Each structure stands twice: as C-alpha cells, then as structure tokens.
Amino acid sequence: MPRFLILAALLALPLPVAAQTVAFGGIKADTRAPVEVTAETLKVDQSTGQANFTGNVLIGQGQMRLSADSVTVTYAQGGQQKIKTLNASGGVTLVNGPDAAEAAEAVYDVETGNIVLTGDAIVTQGQNVLAGDRIEVNLTDGTASVAGRVRTVLQPGGN
C-alpha cells in the first residue's frame, strides 16, 4: 500500500492519545476587555454573588463570543464589580476570530482566560476538526488542549 494511503487511513482514525494541543484563534482574546452579556431573563442572588442569565444568552469580550441557553455569572468576593467565572450550559458555542468550539457545557475563568468545554466538545479551524470529551481553551495565549477520546480530521495543505 502506498505511504500516502497509509497516512490518509491513519488520519481518518480516532486518535488514542490522552491529549492534543492546538492553536485557537488567529487573534488572542483580550481577557481584560469588558464582558457584555445579553439574555431573555436575569435573576440575581445577592447572598451568593451570582447572576443567572437564561434564554438566548450571548456573551462578548473583545472578539470572543460565547452563546448558550443558560449562563451563571459568579462575581468575585466583595461585590458585583468583577466577574470571576461564567458557567454556561445548553448548546454552548464559542467563536474567536476564524475558530469555533461547541460543547454541552463550558466554564470560563475570566481572570485566567481559561475556558473548559465538556460534553461532546469540538473545535473547528477552517476545514480542520478536533473533538474530545474535554477541551480547555486558553484565550491569553491562543492554545487549546483536548482530552478524552480525541478525534481529529486534518486537511492537507494547498498545492
């Protein structure tokens, strides 16, 4: 069998590795930019320092966009002036520049710029696709790490 057919067959198989790291986002996200949230409803619980947004939730920070059915915002201790984390669930989609990721749930640590996507997580970069049980995206350095039955489809370069 010719070598290029063997390589093509190997690329079509799920990868049995524990984790794989890829670049994510042609432009790194500005994790210090303001976070804008829109939704159908909002419920605030002053005692826990949380706000729950539901219904067509869209979160924007610089060029990064995250959408979900529901997002719980947890504020840092000492008041509602600084967002600590965003917990999104239900049809989570993350778009940063030309790249996109999807999952059932996501947790975004605003301070560190880390987003952890779980539940049939998938990253798409052009025609390249990378999927796994858990994808961790670092918006500060523009990388992603995929773990848990990693699967990928890589397209060969142009002529």
pLDDT tens digits, 116-159? 999 999 988 778 888 999 988 887 787 778 888 888 877 776 54
pLDDT of residue 112: 87
pTM, two decimals, is 0.74
d(Cα 65, Cα 63) in Å, to the nearest integer?
Answer: 7
Residues 6+ positions from 86 with CB-CB distance below 8 Å: 35, 59, 66, 71, 72, 73, 74, 106, 107, 108, 110
Lowest pLDDT segment from 8-17, 40-49, 64-73, 91-100: 8-17
Note whether residue 142 is domain-resident: yes
Note whether residue 159 is domain-resident: no
What is the CATH classification number for the domain harbouring 39? 2.60.450.10
Note whether residue 7 is domain-resident: no
pLDDT of residue 79: 55
The maximal CA–CA distance of the chain, rounded, in angstroms, is: 66
Q: Taking 50 as the threshold, does the pLDDT of residue 17 lie above it?
A: no
Q: Taking 50 as the threshold, does the pLDDT of residue 12 lie above it?
A: no
Q: What is the pLDDT of residues 68-113, one digit of tens each?
A: 999 999 988 765 578 889 899 999 998 887 888 899 999 989 888 8
Note whether residue 63 is domain-resident: yes
Mean local confidence (pLDDT), 28-32: 66
Note whether residue 146 is domain-resident: yes
How many domains is the chain partitioned into structurally? 1
Note whether residue 8 is domain-resident: no
Could you list the residue range(s) of the whole structural domain that residue 107 is in?
15-153
**142: β partners:** none
Structure tokens at 63: 């060029």
Note whether residue 5 is domain-resident: no
User: In angstroms, what is the C-alpha Rg of the chain?
Assistant: 18
Note whether residue 67 is domain-resident: yes
Lowest pLDDT segment from 9-18, 24-33, 41-50, 99-108: 9-18
